Amino acid sequence: MISPVHAWVLTRFRGNINIYMGNEPVSRSLASQNLLLRGATLKNTEYIYGVAIYTGMETKMALNYQSKSQKRSAVEKSMNAYLVVYLCILISKAVINTALKYVWQSDPNKDEPWYNEKTETERQRHILIRAFTDFLAFMVLFNYIIPVSMYVTVEMQKFLGSYFMMWDDEMFDEELGERAVVNTSDLNEELGQVEYVFTDKTGTLTENNMEFIECCVDGNVYVPHVICNGQVMPGAAGIDMIDTSPGPDAREHEELFFRALCLCHTVQVKEEETVDGIKHGIHQGKSSSFYISSSPDEVALVEGMKRLGFTYLRLRDGQMEILNREDEIERFELLEVLTFDSVRRRMSVIVRSSTGELYLFCKGADSSIFPRVISGKVEQVKARVEHNAVEGLRTLCVAYRPLSAEQYGQVCHLLTRAKLEFQDQDKLVAEAYDLIERDLILLGATAVEDRLQDKAADTIESLHKAGMKVWVLTGDKMETAAATCYASKLFRRSTQILELTTKRTEEQSLHDVLFELSRTVLRHYGGMPRDTSSGLSSEYTDYGLIIDGATLSAVMRPSQEESNSGNYKEIFLEICRNCSAVLCCRMAPLQKAQIVKMIKASKEHPITLAIGDGANDVSMILEAHVGIGIMGKEGRQAVRNSDYAIPKFKHLKKMLLVHGHYYYIRISELVQYFFYKNVCFIFPQFLYQFFCGFSQQPLYDTAYLTLYNISFTSLPILLYSLMEQHINIDILKKEPSLYRDITKNSLLTWPIFTYWTVLGIYDAIVMFFGAYFLFDNTTFTSNGQ
């Protein structure tokens, strides 16, 4: 029944169904509009018949499932390295003692004095077996140097410590009623090690809460909040002020524009009250009914229109009802919907007005509308669109085309023919759409703002100061994304922007562009070592890089014909390393993960953090060392796959700068202390062997040996590692640069580890010989015993 499309093609579905009426199978084609996806709600009908397809492991979700690899923190890795060192120490100690034992025993008087004879079987044992058993006995004797209980304590510290994160009042969000969620406690300390932050834009940096800002009809700007009661007032902030009487032609265009926006969408009206109440409810502007759409932009547009006087009421019996400024209901018959797709990046509707005129309204991205426009005030609108894009607004252009009856007939013919075709349906439909959507007359453009989240700029600034490199990975187009980056202070005015986009690579070859950029970047840092250059970024010129998806995939593509194309990746990485901020726009979800992977694999092996809210960020969250989910509007997918989830982007600051810092300090002290205390404990035992003829006599009672790690020493340090605050929380928040002190695992480097070990050995020697000389010639009790 189904002709399977590859699982990773998420947007397409094709199949046909054979319906048996009698014995004759009737074949019907199925496409994605016949498919009900998970989470679909039943509307307007009591029931539908359905067949379950793609179930269980066949679901696209399961097929796209990236097995969640075990994430291990840098601290754990260094812990393991230390363990290997200690194992070596253990073995060498045992070997030294075994060797010395036989040197010592070479004197038979010492090996077997008259007071301490061996048994017959002991004497007959082969020397190698004896040596081996001695070695094993020394291993057992010294095995306490390996801090076995450290793992238990570390796990407990992490588990209990993660509660502080959940309990944090400042990471509680009032609106959502959510607090931070810790899905894994293994990575607490990794939060203090982050060097690269990869963030999604929509929903993470921004609220994903679209707001209609303005529209522009033929170069005249309309701003909703300065329009009252259907009267267009001259906006105070507007640049191209409209006349109160724009003339009949403009007036007509204006109304057409508003109607177009009211009609050209796939928004549905969700009513809470009964049918009778709707009209009243909407008219009063109460939230008794609201709009639902797959795209938040559309909702914002329709709501914006409502504020401009044109209210979309509902779709009933193929009739779209609009309440216009004069409170009259206009009815349009919805004839065709040319749905939105990401290739065309526009959508259209064909409607018949109550007067019988046929219109095609088209709405889409500027780049896809302008080439199809034949008339209208293109220049003014274009200028406005560009202006808005720079402001960080999401822009859409609206155009229309009046259709004659014959034209409509043609359109219908084209569409039905395309839809009946099974083999190349998609292609034919696209061609048909292409034919229909042309010779448009430009009406205007809209601008929708996706507001920045609260304190997003402050957070990014702090992260920068803390020495982290922030990358924004977004699917949005370059101008919009760049504007958001400026607004969020990712790019400052002083930042020198390097562009690596399709536009540039079209002019020059990728090769040249890359080399030029790397030269620009490296020229600046020319003579000096990189450490100093990354130290205080504010004193040097900042570089910001903008790269788009297409160019990135070109960079990432493995070398095919030339050998030097493999170097592109290296050059690109070199450029990235020298940029404080990187913006990647037009990214596919998988590309996001690829970038994270690329940075992870670069030669410094930096710790990466990915933060996002939507399902498209999941792959990136799973790939990064630490994945953080934002409890956003796009579902819980990201939250479920993340290691930590926070309600808002601003909470990242406290999470990294305070909690991350603390946990890193705490756990590193914990780990070092554990090694120290075991050295301290066991080294006297080693020394004692020199005084007891290397006979494996333990220095301590068995009870001490057992309890030392478990109860004598683990609890105090556990408490310490839960509560330690070497610096006040407020200071940590105020001075993000303190974070730089602990990057690169700086508290678990080999010199520090050696320091602790040497300290342990020193203390052990002091304790052993202190006791040795103290009790050498004295008695313990007053009665001389």
Partner 1 sequence: MMASSYNAKEEDGPHSGSSTHGGTGVAKNKKPDNTAFKQQRLPAWQPILTAGTVLPAFFVIGLIFIPIGIGLYVTSNNIKEFEIDYTGLELGSPCHDCSKNFTWNSTTPCVCALNFTLEQPFESNVYMYYGLSNFYQNHRRYVKSRDDRQLNGDPTSLMSPSKECEPYRTSAETKEPIAPCGAIANSLFNDTLELYYIEPNGTTTAIPLAKKGIAWWTDKHVKFRNPVNDKENLTELFKGTAKPVNWRKPVYELDPSDPENNGFINEDFIVWMRTAALPTFRKLYRIIHKKPSTTSTLPSGRYTLKVTYSILYNSVKAHAVKGQDKAFI
Provide the binding-site residues for partner 1, judged by CB under 8 A: 109-110, 113-120, 163-164, 166-170, 172, 174-179, 662, 691-693, 695-697, 723, 725-726, 729, 772, 775-777, 779, 782-785
Closest approach of Cβ 737 to partner 1, in Å? 21
Closest approach of Cβ 702 to partner 1, in Å? 13
Instruction: Name which of 494 and 785 has its Cβ closer to partner 1.
Output: 785
Looking at the chain, the number of H-run helices and the number of E-run strands are: 29, 23
Dihedral angle of Cα 661, 664, 667, 672, to the nearest 10 degrees = -120
Please, is 636 exposed, middle or buried when counting C-beta atoms within 10 Å of its C-beta (0-12, 13-18, 19+)? Answer: middle
Cα-based distances in Å from 603 to 196, 448, 599, 747: 14, 42, 9, 21
Max CA distance (Å), the chain? 127
Closest approach of Cβ 164 to partner 1, in Å? 6
Of 205, 202, 194, 201, the residue nearest 624 (C-alpha): 194
Instruction: Name which of 164 and 422 has its Cβ closer to partner 1.
Output: 164
In the block, residue with structure tokens 């960080």: 392
Alpha-carbon gap, residue 397 to 443, rounded angstroms:
8
Closest approach of Cβ 181 to partner 1, in Å? 10
Q: What would the two tokens of residue 291 be?
A: 């709009």
CB 194 within 8 A of CB 608: yes
Closest approach of Cβ 444 to partner 1, in Å? 33
Alpha-carbon gap, residue 437 to 260, rounded angstroms:
15
Alpha-carbon gap, residue 309 to 96, rounded angstroms:
91
Q: What would the two tokens of residue 332 be?
A: 């349009």
Beta strands 373-375; 440-452: pairing state: parallel
Alpha-carbon gap, residue 666 to 720, rounded angstroms:
8
DSSP3 helix / strand / coil % (the chain, rounded to 5): 50, 20, 30
Of 605, 643, 611, the residue nearest 630 (C-alpha): 611
Q: What would the two tokens of residue 559 be?
A: 């070398």
Q: What would the two tokens of residue 459 be?
A: 């957070």
Cα-based distances in Å from 576 to 543, 579, 580: 9, 5, 8
Catalytic residue list contains 454: no
Of 437, 434, 432, 430, the residue nearest 398 (C-alpha): 437
Closest approach of Cβ 772 to partner 1, in Å? 7
Cross-strand bridge partners of residue 24: 21
CB 205 within 8 A of CB 472: yes
Which residue among 134, 186, 200, 643 is the active-site one? 200
Alpha-carbon gap, residue 148 to 710, rounded angstroms:
10
Identify the helix (H) or strand (E) that includes residue 612. Answer: strand 608-612
Closest approach of Cβ 140 to partner 1, in Å? 12
In the block, residue with structure tokens 């194309």: 565
Instruction: Name which of 116 and 559 has its Cβ closer to partner 1.
Output: 116
611 alpha carbon, distance to own chain's centre: 3
Closest approach of Cβ 731 to partner 1, in Å? 12
Alpha-carbon gap, residue 748 to 601, rounded angstroms:
21
CB 652 within 8 A of CB 168: no
Alpha-carbon gap, residue 304 to 310, rounded angstroms:
9
Q: What would the two tokens of residue 587 be?
A: 């990214």
229 alpha carbon, distance to own chain's centre: 44
Q: What's the per-residue H, E or C state across 101-156?
A: HHHHHCCHHHHCCCCCCCCHHHHHCCHHHHHHHHHHHHHHHHHHHCCHHHHHHHHH
* DSSP codes, 348-366: EEEEEETTS-EEEEEEE-H
SS3 343: coil
746 alpha carbon, distance to own chain's centre: 26
In which region does residue 472 sit, left (phi positive, over 0), alpha (psi from -120 to 50) or beta (all else)?
beta
Alpha-carbon gap, residue 548 to 503, rounded angstroms:
10
Question: Which residues are designated catalytic?
Answer: 200
